[in-house]
Structure 1
């Protein structure tokens, strides 16, 4: 019995120390940590956020070493003056790469005018399957909450993602839905994940070591929790501002309690938000069980979906998804999406109702703008809108939104 108590004391002491390091890792945002581009001049149109105006989105777009060009292309594909953007190249990238990304982002006239894009200057590590990934997301949430009071939904994208609709399409469809809804794929049917993901105790050295390394496992497993129900699902989410304020400010202790537990879980970004929202009476009935992404899994299933190509384009375009993943760098299918769906030329933002310039080979139509609160949806908005309608029809028929 004495040996068992000693083992339990060692295990929980180690887990608690890891959590304290984790908290210090995600806290302490300072303006010196990012390249901020404040508005450089007065302009005729401002983004209004009062009721009746289109919604705004906060994008966290992340990548690793060598992904600077991909992040920039993705930013152009999802850019709109009403939104807010935070770009992150993880700690394995160089400062030169971040500076270069910041410089090329600032070359966009709209970014200089509206000041709505930031590049993180003090990067976070991203350990494969470790909790540093969740720490980076929570930090991004904190930054975006701090720098912009107007956005309605948070969207996380990686350098391997790409949109299947324009921002006008997204704003148009989301204008008609409740702004407290959260699009998060989730289930409490864990299956093999219970024994292989939840019960094993892992430590992410990226929390406390400067060099890049891998997670390591404790020799023992811990009992499955019974104080709360564990939910899992896709790490790619569209979450409401109100829910993320709850996670960040935590007027209930639930977000902190679950953060302590999931710090030592494999792929914590696949369980943290899902478990917090479904165990919170205030938010559990705001979940829509979908991540709004299109991807195709190999058979047998691997850790990541297969790389999409031109042969997947037709199914992708009619899927009703807002985003797709994953794509190889400079894939031909990305050019097809730009040309056929986004109507976007190389090195230019996706045009929308806010763009007022005359488009030509030598002039970007979005280098001049009018009313940034105007929205003009395209044909793809119908496909996306029908998909959302089906999701909400099923949502309205349920009394308990979190799938048990």
Structure 2
């Protein structure tokens, strides 16, 4: 990490921490709202109100960022998140959650493009990018841990009826991050003119980019099956209480944080493709073990409580590693546009995965949850092999 980047790394990490908390409170909301008269089908589509705006707004976000600059755009997005977090505790109607997630998704699209652009403008080589992106994205895992542990404590305490006031902490954190960003000196590379964006999009329509976006889609598709729905699987299938169900995601995020931190420190010693494939292979081994325990030792499901979170150790490095490999090859003036494509396909993967999971849970097919995840990982493994084989031949 360059000295310049080291000075701005804290606000970048806090930015991902904040967005992680507001995006990954979905598992909490599914758990809480499922106890009311809201169906799993409605909750599954609630995820789409977060993800689809991210997809649709991303290209427009590039134009906005090009006009205002990454720093100002990021501050604007954080200010909106802080304001929305202040409103949430005082609104009860379900339609507001849809609006809230739509706004949060839009801000995340802007924020992610800004953060990736700032990192790319300071680092060029592939392995340094992988190190930095793993460090910054590791804070995303801490956000998942904080939101599940903090809210888990609230809903299991005597103050459970005030659980939504925990969002005020996110608002305060947003203010602190805005102050840090306003003081940081961030140099920006001149981006593409807005009129060139459409023509440059066609330049990304290459087999390697298409395969890469397919891999990104599949990674987020798999991650979403864990992050939002694992607590409900623990509660409804493994019969644990709400607090422990939320801690499942907390432990998953801790292992994920560990995985990204370890990757950031050792990635220079390994080939990125081999490291990536090794991680997927270990995920498949763990999932086969989980499926074996569930179907052949169904009387004792306790090991599942502990095996699912361990998957985060090997799942979490995939996204930053594959992104850094491609981003390092993109010209700096095109990075905002390229990141918007990453954001679009990530959000589509998240939305489609959540809709499928809602159907799975709504039809009470929880016995197939581990098998569904395993099938998704095998698909990811195959597409990833095709991607690395193709890029190696180039």
Q: TM-score, normalised by structure 1?
A: 0.29
Write 1 or 2 for the structure with the bigger share of strand. Answer: 1
Answer 1 or 2: higher relative contact order, Cα 8 Å, separation at least 6: 2
- Say which one has the larger Rg: 1
